[in-house]
Amino acid sequence: MRTMNQVDKMLVISCLILLCNHLNAASIRLCGYVVDEQQIPLIGASIIEEDSQNGTTTDIDGYFELQSKVENPNLQISYTGFITQTIVVDETVEYGNLKVVLFPKFDLEEVVVSNFSMSNNISSDNARKRKYVVIDGVTYADGIPSTHTFKFESYNSNIFQTYHAVDKNDDQLNTEDYDIINENGFLTSTTKPVSTFSIDVDAASYSNLRRYIDNGQAPPKDAVRIEEMVNYFDYEYPQPQGEDPFEVITEYSDCPWSAKNKLIHIGLQGKEIPKENLPASNLVFLCDVSGSMNSHNKLPLLQGSLKMLVNNLRPEDKVSLVVYAGSTGVVLKPIGGDEKAKIREAIDMLSAGGGTGGAAGIKMAYKQARSAFIEGGNNRVLLATDGDFNLGVSSDADLVRLIEKERESGVFLTVMGFGTGNYKDNKMEKLANHGNGNYAYIDNISEARKVLVSEFGGNLFTIAKDVKLQVEFNPKHVEAYRLIGYENRMLAREDFNDDKKDAGELGAGHTVTAMYEIVPTGVESEFVKTVDPLKYQRAKSKQVQSYSEELMTIKLRYKKPAGTKSKLISKPVNIDAKELERTSDNFRWAATVAGFGMLLRNSDFKQEANYENMIAMGKGALGTDMEGYRQEMIKMMKNMSAIAKLAEEYEADLGK
C-alpha cells in the first residue's frame, strides 16, 4: 500500500488552502440593525436572501447576522404592519454595518404636507371623513396655511424626519388619556405651615414625554408630572448608615428661576442591596395580548423587555405567565428562574388579538402570585399593557377598588406601559399608586434595559412601603412655600399619622427627590395672597426662641415591606443657605429638571426660567452620567426649544 509522501502531503494541504480561500471568498458575513422611523429596534423582523431563501430574524436589539454565499445579494426585510424593503448589498454597502429603517404601512394619497403645526389635539367635531396629515406620528387637520411644502420624503432636521398623509376617522384619532394636573400653588406659613405628601418613585412621565419630543411635538400639558421627571435620574446621595433603610439629606440655596426666592432640596437614598443578597422572587408576568397591543412598539417590545428580565433570574426565583384579551389564561405555571429557555419560549408564543378584559387578568395574576407565595420574599405582579381596558370592569374607580383589595394579599405591583395612540396613562398610574407598586413607560428597548436590568433591584424589590413626608415651616424665615410636583400625591395633615392611609413604596437603591420653592419672610411676591386674620384663633405672642435658627422640620413615616405599623423619623433643618454656584450637582440637576418641567407645562410659576438658562445650568451639573441619561435630557431641551420657536413662528403667521 502506497503511503503519502511529503510531496503528496504538500499537494493536499495546498488544495485545502485553495478550497478554504474559495469558500471564504464566496461567503459574506452580513450584519446590522432593523429599526423603525423613531429608531426603535424591530424585534423579530425577517431578513431573507432572495436568491437562496437563506434567512434570519432580528433579536431584542433589532440586530441580525447572516452568512451569504451570493455575490451582491438582494436582502428582503419585512415586518408585520411595515412596508417591506429590498436592498442590494454591493461594494458600496458596509457589510458589517447595515442599518435598515422600515416605515409603517399607510394609505398614501397625493397630498402635500404644508407648514408645521404644534397642535397636539384635533377636535372631533365634524372630523369624520376629513383628510388628515400625519407628521412624525402627530395628526393634523386639513387647512394648514401653506408657507413651506414637503412631499413624502425625509426632511433633514433635528426635529422633523418623515412625512405621510393619510385618511383618518374619529375612532382612529389619538385617544390617549391623562388626568388633569392642577399645579400646587404657594401657601403661607402662618396659615398653613404644614405640607404632607407621599413619595413617588415612578418615572413613566419622563420616558413618555421623551417619546413626544423625539417625534417632534410638545407633550400634552397633563402628561408632564414634574416629580416623575426629577425622579427618573439617580442622585449621588450617601448610603444609609443606621438601621433605617434610607438616608435623608437636605440642601438650601437660591432659586434658579427667581432671584428673590430660595429652593430647598430634599433627598432620600434607599439602601442598596447586592443582587445575590436580594430575597427570592415570585414574579407573575401579566401580559395584555388584546388587539390594541398588535403594534411593533407594543407586544414585540413587551416580549423583548421581559426576556431581558429573564436573564436576571436566579434558580430560587419563580415565574408565572398570565395573559388576557377577550378571555384570560395561564400560559406558564410557576417554574424556577433557572428554566430560562422555557420562560422565553412561553413569551415568544404570545400574539395579539381580541378585546381587553384586564380586570379578569388582574384577578388571575394575583391568584397565581398567592399560589406560589414566598414568605419573606418578593411577591409581585408585573402588568404590561397599553392600559386600554374595554371588557368587564373598566372604570377607574372599579379598577382601583379591585387593586386595593388584591394588595391585601402582600403581593406588590409593577405596571409597565407600552405604545401610543390609545395609551391610558391615567388608568395605569392609578393602578400602580393603589397597588403598592411603581409605574414605568417603556418607549424603546433601551428604556426596558434601564427599568428591568440596570434598576432591577429598585423597581422590583421594596425595602419600605407607605413612605410619607411631612414638612413644617418656620414662619420666622418662610413667608410662603410651594411643593414642586407631587400634585396627585398630596395628603391631608391627619393622614400622616394614619397607618391605614396608603402611600408610596421605596425600592432597593432608589433615590427620591423633592423640592420646595420658598418665599423668604419679608420678601414681596405676586404669588403670596393676603388673608384676613382669624377671629376665634389666638395669635402667638412671640416666636419660640429655641427654634429661631430652624428653617423647617422634616418628619417621615414608613413601614417595613410586610409591616402594618409605621416608624417615625424627624429631622430639623437649620438656615444654612449656599450660593447656587457652590451647590452640589444633585441640587442643580434636580432644579434643571424641575425648570424643564415647568417650561413644558408653561407653568404660571416658571418666572425667569427659559430653555437657554436651564440648558446652561444642566450642562454644569452632569456629574458622572455613566449611562448618558443627563446628556440625553440636554438634547431633549434643545429640541424642545426648537419646537417652541417653530410654534411661535406658526402662531405669528396665523396672526398676520
- Domain with residue 335: its CATH number is 3.40.50.410
Verify that 239 and 379 share a domain, yes or no. Answer: no
Contact between 473 and 514 (Cβ < 8 Å) = no
389 domain residue, yes or no: yes
Residue 212 host element (H or E): helix 204-214
What the block records as the C-alpha cell of 136 is: 412624525
The predicted model gives 177-187 an average pLDDT of: 95
Task: Count up the domains in the chain and report the number.
Answer: 4
The β-bridge partners of 68 are: 28
What one-character-per-residue DSSP string does 341-409 give? Answer: HHHHHHHHT----S---HHHHHHHHHHHHHHT--TTSEEEEEEEE-----SSS-SHHHHHHHHHHHHTT
pLDDT at 59: 77
Share the mean pLDDT of the chain: 82
Closest listed residue to residue 507, CA positions, set 200, 233, 197, 196: 200
What DSSP designation does 477 have? T
Taking 50 as the threshold, does the pLDDT of residue 163 lie above it? no
Closest listed residue to residue 633, CA positions, set 617, 646, 644, 650: 617
23 domain residue, yes or no: no
The predicted model gives 436-463 an average pLDDT of: 89
Verify that 281 and 267 share a domain, yes or no. Answer: no
> How many CB atoms lie under 10 A from the CB of residue 122?
17
What pTM, to 2 d.p., does this model score?
Answer: 0.76
| Dist CA 12 CA 7 (whole Å) | 9
Confidence of residue 27 (pLDDT cuts 50, 70, 90): low
β pairing state of 194-198 and 462-473: antiparallel
Q: pLDDT tens digit string along 121-152?
A: 333 333 333 333 334 344 443 333 333 333 33
The predicted model gives 43-52 an average pLDDT of: 77
Give the whole-number percent of the chain exceeding pLDDT 90.
Answer: 51
| Dist CA 62 CA 44 (whole Å) | 7
Confidence of residue 80 (pLDDT cuts 50, 70, 90): low
**Nearest 5°: phi and psi at 596?**
-60, -45
Verify that 54 and 193 share a domain, yes or no. Answer: no
179 domain residue, yes or no: no
Verify that 191 and 334 share a domain, yes or no. Answer: no
pLDDT at 512: 96
Q: Which residue has the higher pLDDT, 534 or 114?
A: 534
The domain in which residue 572 lies consists of 187-273+463-529+551-648
> Where among 460, 491, 514 does a domain terminate?
460
How many residues can be counted in the chain? 656
Verify that 327 and 405 share a domain, yes or no. Answer: yes
Verify that 284 and 242 share a domain, yes or no. Answer: no
Chain centroid to CA 308: how far? 17
Strand ranges, E, within 325-461: 328-336, 378-385, 412-418, 437-442
Verify that 493 and 632 share a domain, yes or no. Answer: yes
- Could you tell me where the DSSP H helices lie in 260-339? 299-310
Chain centroid to CA 461: how far? 18
534 domain residue, yes or no: no
Verify that 591 and 577 share a domain, yes or no. Answer: yes
Verify that 401 and 327 share a domain, yes or no. Answer: yes
Verify that 504 and 360 share a domain, yes or no. Answer: no
Verify that 286 and 265 share a domain, yes or no. Answer: no
| Dist CA 102 CA 122 (whole Å) | 27
Which of 255-259, 273-277, 301-305 is the most confident on average? Answer: 255-259
107 domain residue, yes or no: no
Taking 90 as the threshold, does the pLDDT of residue 107 lie above it? no
CB-based burial of residue 529 (10 Å sphere; 0-12 exposed, 13-18 middle, 19+ buried)? exposed
